Structure 1
Amino acid sequence: MRNPNPTLVEDVRSRVAAGMNVRLGPLAKFAGLSPTALRLAVERGDIKVIRLGRNILIPHHEAARLLGMEAA
């Protein structure tokens, strides 16, 4: 898989560091996963999410855990 877009990497990293929620798609790209794989992990209950209508947001502490970062 190609390296993620540097702007995307910085956006995801800065949002997690700032304690903000992250969308599923950008987090999947940053983590080197497919959105489908991440969505399946959500359906299994491996990752807790916030659902707003059709939008799936990953809380910053879950994203930090997934990426191996310290939560803010």
Structure 2
Amino acid sequence: MNCRRCGSKPALGLWMLIAVADVALLAAAAGPLLVLLVVIGVAAVTAGVVGLRVMSKRATGPADVVVRRRA
């Protein structure tokens, strides 16, 4: 017998192509305006998360140096 086992790489690649085609069909059915709104929403949420992470970082300044005079 010359059968491939289930879940081999060619089958996985085929399922990925089917998934991309499904997304394209859904985008065509929903309409470009709705897809654009969803993409803008995802971009806004991503920008908000990145902005919060950048703002929450503590400022790292130079350490306090104690200057002493020689006796």
Report TM bin, short chain: under 0.3
Q: Which has the higher strand share?
A: 1
Q: Which structure has more helix as a fraction of its residues?
A: 2
Considering only CA atoms, is the larger Rg found in Structure 1 or Structure 2? 2
Larger relative contact order (Cα-Cα within 8 Å, sequence gap ≥ 6): 1
Give the structure-1-normalised TM-score: 0.24
